[in-house]
Chain A
Amino acid sequence: MEQSIYFDNAATSWPKPEETYIAIDHFNRSIGGSPGRSGHRVSIESGRVIMNARESLAQLFNIDDPFQIVFTKNATEALNLAIFGLLLPGDHVITSSMEHNSVMRPLRVLESQGVELSIVRCSPQGYLDPDDLPALIRENTKAVVLTHASNVTGTIMPIKEVGDIIRGRGLILCVDAAQTAGALPIDVSDMNIDLLAFTGHKSLFGSQGTGGIYIRKGLEERIRSLMVGGTGSRSEFEIQPDFMPDKYESGTLNTSGLAGLGAGGEYILKKGIDHIRDKEILMTQHFLDGLKSISGVHIYGPGDASRQISVVSFNLNGMTPSEISFTLDEHYGIMSRPGLHCAPSAHRTIGTFPGGTVRFSFGYFNTEEQISYALGAVQQISRDQKK
């Protein structure tokens, strides 16, 4: 076995663009310095690195004011900030049955503390029907929390349609873009997104330990800080500053990671998100078409690359997902992810709980040749299985 093929980009993308590695190394080797903490040159330069990351993401998501972006260590922290910072006992919140545990678990904690929770049941392909929403809205409904695309089936959710429905009703739309930031076009203004949680280490091509959240201007007045502490600003006061982004950015940031995230964002802007998406659609459709012709394979989700991100879940008759994944790694050098993918509710929705599925997730740096090779491997495993 000579091959080593990484098809687990939905967990974390690899490799990263060269620009990401260079930016991280350059920061660590030649800048250092604590951003926003002093006026000397390396501190200022370090501040510029963070500013650059904020600006490239603002451009990518069409955010007017880069200061409305708060950096966190990942999407999970961003979602915790949005969910715990916003919702109070007595509030009602709506989510979907396709959510990742980084949405579901905070909501379940709040449910036990008196927040009312409604979960929209999605189709077995993972689709949310926006028409199911209006009937769920109550007097005390405060927010809709929704993933932009499922990390299990890849299904793309109708965010814009949901935004249109809840706009004008005073509801807050919080989107989990962990899987889509950098992979699908996102325009917070056009899509009516109030809160956009993203992670840096997947399709944004940054390193692990980076993520953040966009907070629509003014909404910060309604969201509590989960963590307070040193910000390098207003140090004469022992109370937390109330301005953005310092209100939510206590403690020294992961500046080297954010140097990489800024470079990743610029790389995407340079390549063009449509170009990246087109390439991922081609690879995903190639894989889907090939899988459909292999006997004993069951594909979950839309089965149509234009309606999903580059994530494909499947099973093979007679084998458990972990057996399939293990064989792929052991005999073919292909890395995939079996199991429940931190999303038990999504697996219940598509009928694969508790066994789970095998998930392949492609990234911009994968190739059609790798897809062909993987299809050959799955074909062979399917044949061996029948012997």
Chain B
Amino acid sequence: MTEMEKYHVILFDSVHHALRSEKILKGMGIPHKLIPVPRHISSDCGVCLRFTIDLRNKIEDALNGKVDIYEIRPL
């Protein structure tokens, strides 16, 4: 497995949603990183949230009902 495959990203409808998610995850101490949407993924919202796959459930629970997620996909 390469280093890249360990990450997933969350795509959002808008930057507002990405920033709100960032704040919620920060508040809960869940590791993540706001990164520019990689070229091979198409999204108009310029940023996405990168996280390691083991945190997927935790992150989805944390955002559930608070921020709508557009898509979660491997990086």
> A246 to chain B: which residues have CB within 8 Å?
13-14, 16
Task: Let me know if B13 and A39 touch, CB within 8 A.
Answer: no
Q: Please state if B19 and A39 are interface contacts (CB–CB under 8 Å).
A: no
Contact partner, B37, options A39, A241, A245, Cβ 8 Å: A39
Chain A: how many interface residues by the 8 Å CB criterion? 27
- Interface stretch, picked from A173-181, A232-240, A292-300, A319-327, is A232-240
Provide the bound-state CA to CA distance between A54 and B19, in Å. Answer: 12
Chain A residue with Cβ nearest B18? A47
* Contact indicator B47/A44 (Cβ below 8 Å): yes
Q: Tell me if B62 is interfacial: C-beta within 8 Å of chain A.
A: no
Do A36 and B20 contact each other (CB < 8 Å), given the known contacts A232-B44, A235-B44?
A: no
A67 to B16, CA, bound (A): 8
How many inter-chain contacts with C-beta < 8 Å in the A-B complex? 60
Q: Which residues in window 61-76 of A have CB below 8 A to B?
A: 65-67
Q: Which of A1-56 contact B (CB under 8 A)?
A: 35-40, 43-44, 47-48, 50-51, 54-55
Confirm or deny: A250 has a beta carbon within 8 angstroms of a beta carbon on chain B. no
Report whether A47 and B44 are in contact in the complex, using a CB–CB cutoff of 8 Å: no
Main secondary structure of the interface of A (DSSP, over half): loop
In the complex, which residues of chain B have a beta carbon less than 8 angstroms from the beta carbon of A48? 19
A243-B19 CB under 8 A given contacts A39-B47, A43-B46: no
A179 to B36, CA, bound (A): 42
**Chain B residues closer than 8 Å to A95, beta-carbon distance:** none
Residues of A within 8 A of B73 (CB): none
Complex interface: chain A residues within 8 A of B45 (CB): 36, 232-233
Does residue B60 face the partner (Cβ distance < 8 Å to A)? no
Q: Which of B4-55 contact A (CB under 8 A)?
A: 13-17, 19-20, 23, 34, 36-37, 44-47
Interface residues of B (CB under 8 A from A): 13-17, 19-20, 23, 34, 36-37, 44-47, 66-68
List residues of chain A with CB under 8 Å of any chain B CB. Answer: 35-40, 43-44, 47-48, 50-51, 54-55, 65-67, 231-236, 241, 243, 245-246
Additional 8 contacts, C-beta under 8 A, given A47-B15, A51-B19, A246-B14 = A35-B15, A37-B15, A47-B16, A54-B16, A67-B20, A233-B13, A233-B15, A241-B13
